Amino acid sequence: MALFEEEMDSNPMVSSLLNKLANYTNLTQGAQEHEEAEEDEGPKKKAVKSPQMGTFMGVYLPCLQNILGVILFLRLTWIVGTAGILESLAIVCLCCSCTMLTAISMSAIATNGVVPAGGSYYMISRSLGPEFGGAVGLCFYLGTTFAGSMYILGTIEILLTYIVPKAAIFVAEKKEDEADALLNNMRVYGTCCLALMAVVVFVGVKYVNKLALVFLACVILSILAIYAGVIKTIFEPPDFPVCMLGNRTLQNHNFDSCLKKEIIGNITVTTKLWKLFCEGPDFNATCNDYFANNNVTSIQGIPGLTSGVISENMWSAYGPLGMLVEDKNSSSVGGSDPTQDIYMPYVVNDITTFFTLLVGIYFPSVTGIMAGSNRSGDLRDAQKSIPIGTILAIATTSFIYVTCVVLFGACIEGVLLRDKFGDSVKGNLVIGTLSWPSPWVIVIGSFFSCCGAGLQSLTGAPRLLQAIARDGIVPFLQVFGHGKANGEPTWALLLTAGICEIGILIASLDAVAPILSMFFLMCYLFVNLACAVQTLLRTPNWRPRFKYYHWALSFLGMSLCLALMFISSWYYAIVAMAIASCIYKYIEYRGAEKEWGDGIRGLSLNAARYALIRLEEAPPHTKNWRPQLLVLLNLDSDQGVKHPRLLSLTTQLKAGKGLTIVGNVIEGTFLTKEAEAKRAEQNIKSSMSAERTKGFCHVVVSSNLRDGFSHLIQSAGLGGMKHNTVLMAWPGTWRQSNDPQSWKNFIETVRETTAAHQALLVAKNVDSFPTNQDRLGEGTIDVWWVVHDGGMLMLLPFLLRQHKVWRKCKMRIFTVAQMDDNSIQMKKDLQMFLYHLRLDAEVEVVEMHDNDISAFTYEKTLVMEQRSQMLKQMQLSRTEREREAQLIHDRNTASHATINDKAESGPERVHMTWTKDKLFTERNRNRECNANVAVRDLFNMKPNQSNVRRMHTAVKLNEVVVNKSQGAHLVLLNMPGPPRNRGGDENYMEFLEVLLEGLNRVLLVRGGGREVITIYS
């Protein structure tokens, strides 16, 4: 292993890696905090036991307990009666198919690697990224919290309706007030129950977990009691008579016998029922017309499995609020007054019923499929147990629901099925009337079942919120990540109880059920989406052990979830999606950056690759042309950005659209400057973030700056996403710099952008440009259009004015007319051109005459050339000095190594021994002689006529521009090209300095050789 010694420090040996993996323990949520608490105690720390739960105890039973619950006991009979057996089966199959498809997708995700404790939230966030993960995690949290409300409301409904009706605080004096009284009782008792449950959860979760098995036993016993009761109806149907007046069902609370008159001791007397419909007990009392016209009959509420009642219960019986529950097969004589019927003891619909409402109410009874994956930390082999346990649990519960729908429809009379609260059978729970040996088995079983489910929700929801808070993706939730010393989420529990109270104040089980349906459906939708995305992307890491999945199944599951959301309640669906979208955008905008290798990132990469390949096919049309910028930044010695205003200008010019690449070059070799390059990149990125510049950063290490900028101009970007414009700052200190390389690099960059057919923008006095926070008042952006090079000068002010900083500025266009031009016609033509371009701007034509060249221009040119000549002399003397020093060093070395030869005889050949002093004296004499000649030449030189003409143009144009545009917020000006002969480079810099003298903010613009603006649509 000596060959790999250097890698040992950073890369572990395979044996140690495998050892770590083998000893991996998958702790449940909260367990980690326990461990940390124990660490503080020092040597008392206990060893963590490996989780040992199998498929049956760890997944199957918890799923069973969570799926079967309050809706089965309190609403399924009513759903069967209202929708009919066929439509009820459709509802059950629709909802169970949705959960089965979701379970298949979930199994694939759960078996794709180790799933730490955190269940569905962890799976979705790691598959779809922090934005989706946070949005869906919070939806799942809200769903679980509202489920707690629903279970508590179910508990109170069972308590007040079936166990101790006399415990009601609000009692309705009139029949029409009964619904309001029930809701108020639910609110009061529900709030008390919630407070009690929250205290239990706060005091000790371990008690809740220990009681879970008891609650599950209650559920299973209740279901067995139902099946036993169904079998018993074949031989001996239970005696639960339903009193009918005509074909209407009566509430059997305030009377014992289902008769109008009865004989007591040979005397015929009126019954209690008579007194409910008549004004008095006398036979001649005025009675309700319908009561007088129809007979009272008693029918068996549960005729039994073999009675043939199944054919009557096949079809639906939807109706509005207040509709009387009637037997469609019985006849009746009319004569009733509908306005008076609400005061009579009839059984009526307490809500308007329709198919989609029943779907929303029923769906919570199939939720709970995540219970197994939420316990992934407690399982011996999560990858094996989660798929088997969850799918088996869904199959079992689906079988129970389907059989219950058919058996209820086959055993129970239709009018009793539609009696939601069992008013026609003396306030008994309808499903209880069917059970054996006693209705109380179901009542007590369902009561404890609802209690247990409520406690489980109040235990699970805060932990889910804590997990989201600790991930740090939603900043304002950070406080809920804290808890007690043992890790119990105290703050999260308080928030959960608060949200739960909202559901309890709604008070109606039928109103709360669709709300939690929405949140669970949203969660299931994203589980399916996660599986479909991962499968279609064929991510290398997507290797689930569970093989029985397919993207089409996931897509079907996702479509079914979306359909069920809108079927249940379209307005709740929109609200739920709006909440999820707001959370998504908030996390995207404010959330912490997380890299979880999620599928959405993979999807983005695939989409980007596809788009880049499409872009490559053809160059952009003039209509689509926009400046894609390469910004060449300079950094100071501390790797800080020298001109941050250059980034501000980029932001204002781009407004977040198009491509921006911010480039920088570091001199040196990559091996030695790697750390410096990374630091520079971080500094540039932080400056980009501060200036709100959206784009990419590209730092290049090169042996010299000249080559580095050349590489950036040639190779920055990818495929069709390449820059077409280079933005850089004017080298303001080029005159003061001892090193001419700075301005030479600038000119070479100008040449290379021209060669690459790219536009060039040079900002002079860039530090005086406005920041993104500034708002420029009334003012102008002046465009000096001297030569046409593609229309960049027209386009740039338009783009700048899209930004808030420049919005109030007006655009002025100046163009230069010479002696031969018709300036009036030029102005008209330019106005027409701008009209066709749809640009609003003032137009002015400035006339420039070819005056005689002034002495000032002549003198300025002379000074420029003299300065240039002096710099060359200084440069030569510096080079010469370096060469001499090297010569002396070489000669001294040689003199020590060799012996001088004797001089040859001859009068003209004299032998001289050179000393160091002699050499210096001779050299200085020669240099002084040369310098004197050079200085004489410098003062006697005459300026080059071509330079004089150029200087004349620069001086004249500068005068005109300063005269017209000195007060402008920004001046845009054509940038003259550099000379073809590199000898005149320094003069070129002087010309530009003269041209820009006296102007504050200037943007020199050089086109890229193509049209960038068009008059055509």
Rg of the chain over CA atoms, in angstroms? Answer: 44
Give the DSSP letter string of 62-108.
Answer: HHHHHHSSHHHHHTHHHHHHHHHHHHHHHHHHHHHHHHHHHHHHHHH
pLDDT above 60 for 854: no
The residue among 999 and 895 whose pLDDT is bigger is: 999
Question: Which residues face 629 on adjacent strands?
Answer: 660, 725
pLDDT above 80 for 3: no
In degrees and rounded to multiples of 5, residue 284 shows phi and psi of -95, 10
Q: Sorting pLDDT into bands at 50, 70 and 90, what band is 908? A: very low
SS3 content of the chain, % helix, strand, coil (to 5): 60, 10, 30
Residue 880: predicted pLDDT? 56
The residue among 120 and 719 whose pLDDT is bigger is: 719
Q: Is the dihedral of CA 147, 149, 151, 157 positive or negative?
A: negative
Measured CA to CA, the distance from residue 972 to residue 995 in angstroms comes to 12
Residue 495: predicted pLDDT? 92
Please state the rounded mean pLDDT for residues 1004-1009: 82
Measured CA to CA, the distance from residue 621 to residue 624 in angstroms comes to 5
pLDDT tens digits along 317-369: 898 988 888 888 777 777 667 777 777 888 888 889 999 999 999 999 998 88
Q: Is the dihedral of CA 158, 161, 163, 168 positive or negative?
A: positive
Residue 893: predicted pLDDT? 52
pLDDT tens digits along 300-322: 889 988 888 899 899 998 989 88
Least confident stretch, 96-100, 344-348, 417-421, 845-849 = 845-849
Measured CA to CA, the distance from residue 194 to residue 449 in angstroms comes to 15
194: exposed, middle or buried (Cβ count in 10 Å: 0-12, 13-18, 19+): buried
Please state the rounded mean pLDDT for residues 856-861: 53
pLDDT tens digits along 928-976: 455 444 444 444 444 555 666 777 777 888 888 888 888 889 999 888 8
Residue 914: predicted pLDDT? 44
pLDDT tens digits along 7-64: 555 566 565 655 554 543 333 333 333 333 334 444 443 444 455 678 888 888 888 8
Residue 901: predicted pLDDT? 46
Alpha helices by DSSP H, 412-480: 414-417, 430-434, 439-471
Give the HSE-up count for residue 909: Cα atoms under 13 Å, Cβ half-sphere: 5
Residue 155: predicted pLDDT? 92
Residue 870: predicted pLDDT? 56
Please state the rounded mean pLDDT for residues 588-612: 71
Residue 946: predicted pLDDT? 65
Q: Measured in Å, how far apart are the chain's first and last C-alpha atoms?
A: 70
Nearest to 71 by CA among 167, 157, 181, 169: 157
The residue among 269 and 1015 whose pLDDT is bigger is: 269
Please state the rounded mean pLDDT for residues 367-390: 81
pLDDT above 90 for 212: no
Residue 102: predicted pLDDT? 93
Sheet holding 241-245, edge to edge: 248-249, 241-245, 296-300
Q: Sorting pLDDT into bands at 50, 70 and 90, what band is 911? A: very low
**CA dist 538 to 114, 530, 543, 753, 935, Å?**
19, 12, 9, 41, 76
Q: Is the dihedral of CA 248, 251, 252, 258 positive or negative?
A: negative
Q: For residue 166, what are the contacts with CB-CB under 8 A and spacing of at least 6?
A: none
pLDDT above 60 for 865: no
pLDDT tens digits along 264-287: 877 888 888 888 888 888 888 888
Q: Is the separation of the CB atoms in 211 and 452 below 8 Å?
A: yes
Q: Which two tokens stand for residue 811?
A: 């655009």
**CA dist 914 to 454, 868, 900, 911, 928, Å?**
107, 37, 11, 10, 20
Residue 934: predicted pLDDT? 41
Beta strand pairing call for 241-245 and 296-300: antiparallel
Residue 403: predicted pLDDT? 95
Three-class SS of 125-192: HHHHHHHHHHHHHHHHHHHHHHHHHHHHHHHHHHHHHHHCHHHCCCCCCCHHHHHHHHHHHHHHHHHH
Measured CA to CA, the distance from residue 251 to residue 210 in angstroms comes to 41
Residue 90: predicted pLDDT? 95
Residue 46: predicted pLDDT? 43
Please state the rounded mean pLDDT for residues 868-877: 56
Please state the rounded mean pLDDT for residues 474-499: 83
Residue 922: predicted pLDDT? 53
User: Taking all residues of the chain, what is their mean pLDDT, rounded to a whole number?
Assistant: 80
The residue among 509 and 208 whose pLDDT is bigger is: 509
Measured CA to CA, the distance from residue 15 to residue 19 in angstroms comes to 6
Q: For residue 876, what are the contacts with CB-CB under 8 A and spacing of at least 6?
A: none
pLDDT tens digits along 789-848: 777 888 888 888 888 888 889 999 888 877 677 778 888 888 888 888 888 888 888 877
Q: Is the separation of the CB atoms in 332 and 246 below 8 Å?
A: yes
Measured CA to CA, the distance from residue 153 to residue 451 in angstroms comes to 10
Residue 173: predicted pLDDT? 75
Residue 913: predicted pLDDT? 43
Q: Is the separation of the CB atoms in 379 and 116 below 8 Å?
A: no
Residue 409: predicted pLDDT? 93
pLDDT tens digits along 214-269: 888 888 899 999 999 999 988 888 888 899 888 888 888 877 788 888 888 778 88
